[in-house]
Amino acid sequence: MTPRLWAACALAVLVVAVVVAAAVTVPWHRPPAPRADQVDALRDFPAEQVARSRAFHAELRPATYGALVLGLVAALVLGLTPLGARLVDLVGRPFGGHWAAQAVLGGLAVVFLLEVLTLPFAAWRHTIAVRYGISTQSWGPWTLDLLKGYAVGAVLGGVVLFGFFAVVRLAPRWWWAFGAAGAAALVVLLSFVLPVVVEPIFNRFTPMADGPLRTELLALAARDGVPVRDVLVADASRRTRAVNAYVSGFGPTRRIVVYDTMLTEATPAEVVSVTAHELGHAKDQDVLTGTLLGALGAATAVVALFLLGGWSPLLRWAGVGGIGEPRAIALLLAVSTVAGLVAGPGQAFLTRRIEARADAHALALTDDPATFESMQRRLGTVNLADPDPPTWEYVMSASHPSTVERMAAARAYARGER
């Protein structure tokens, strides 16, 4: 068989693998959260709090969706016209047009251009967050975090770009197979490495002081059968007033992380409740589930790009000879951007199911629905979440059940509904 036929067969197998993996690992049954309970929960919020949260999100939407639209349009213009290829040529010219310079520097230049175009929208969002009291950062620290993000992205992006185009040069007919395997392996590697290596770049972590809360959190993890190495406090207050906690790492690196803002805003029982939710993710191997689906998805994307590269009109629009050459980086980015937007609602749906299961785990582990409900109310209030967001926005992008859904789930659990 020809490489294209082999690739088509591999794509079919990978698509089936993604579907089967999702069917087996994603919890399709979610805890009951009756709409009547949701409506009652919404009534429990002070009207001024709901109005303020909704005003906050109404002000954020133009900046959020403006950046989305501009980023999409810019990616399509660069990718579906010769402009992207010319930019890669221009950046690589001082290095004699060497493929590595085009791949790494040209690719980063394309990405950086898109980041710069949408930067005003990010600044707009920051001003809104500051005005509503969510962000505690002045422009200096905000810019520093932005530059740190660019630096991390440049390092990771440079490695990926060099590796991808090196494989294309070494195996021009079969790069899709090696690229798919490499993409899957990279997703797995980053799932293990990023929490340990990247998190300290943006936050400082200190061990939680010995005391009743630390003891209770460690006992909760032990009772749940999820061994953790330590309980850490993140200095989130230098960036935000939002509250959160999470479980990070695997095996010997696993730790419970609590925002310092949560220690000042929430009661100890509420900290225990939200930690129980995060332990649910570890107990049910949700990170591994996400890693598996991400790895299969990355491999599928590489094979699909190879097959898409056989469509000559697409290459002609981009002004490139093949999708595996560095000059086609903008085209690859444009296709990836469109694919990400199309897949977004489906990904959000899956993550909501997983988050709902973690909620059910927290309720069962603590057997304290009242505290769980009060914690969700506090999370929604402090973080200025819309407790019952518009349906279209919820379907498109919500990664968690809404605040009123989670409160309704607690009320259903209290009645014995599972």
Residue 16's closest CA among 291, 287, 303?
Answer: 303
**Residues 28, 325: Cα–Cα separation, whole Å:** 41
Residue among 224, 260, 265, 359 flagged as catalytic: 359
Distance in Å from the first CA to the final CA of the chain: 52
**Residues 249, 255: Cα–Cα separation, whole Å:** 7
Is 281 annotated in a binding site? The answer is yes
278 given a catalytic annotation: yes
- Token digits of residue 94: 């001082």
Question: For the chain, how big is the Rg over CA atoms in Å?
Answer: 23
Is 277 annotated in a binding site? The answer is yes
Task: Look at the alpha carbons of 105, 331, 344, 114 in this order and tell me if their dihedral is positive or negative.
Answer: positive
Residue 248's closest CA among 230, 263, 264, 269?
Answer: 230
- Token digits of residue 406: 């989670």
Residue 244's closest CA among 385, 148, 353?
Answer: 385
**Residues 400, 355: Cα–Cα separation, whole Å:** 6
Residue 416 Ramachandran class (φ > 0 left, ψ -120 to 50 alpha, else beta): left
Report whether 374 contacts 265 (CB < 8 A).
Answer: no
Residue among 260, 278, 368, 388 flagged as catalytic: 278
CA distances in angstroms from 279 to 178, 230, 272, listed in the order given:
36, 13, 10
Report whether 131 contacts 177 (CB < 8 A).
Answer: no
CB count in 10 Å sphere of residue 198? 14
In order, the DSSP letters of 54-84 are: HHHHHHHHHHHHHHHHHHHHHHHHHHSSTHH
Task: Look at the alpha carbons of 62, 63, 64, 67 in this order and tell me if their dihedral is positive or negative.
Answer: positive
- Token digits of residue 254: 């696993």
Is 355 annotated in a binding site? The answer is yes
Residues 6+ apart with CB under 8 A from 45: 377, 380, 381, 387
Active site residues: 278, 359
Binding residues for Zn(2+): 277, 281, 355
Binding residues: 277, 281, 355
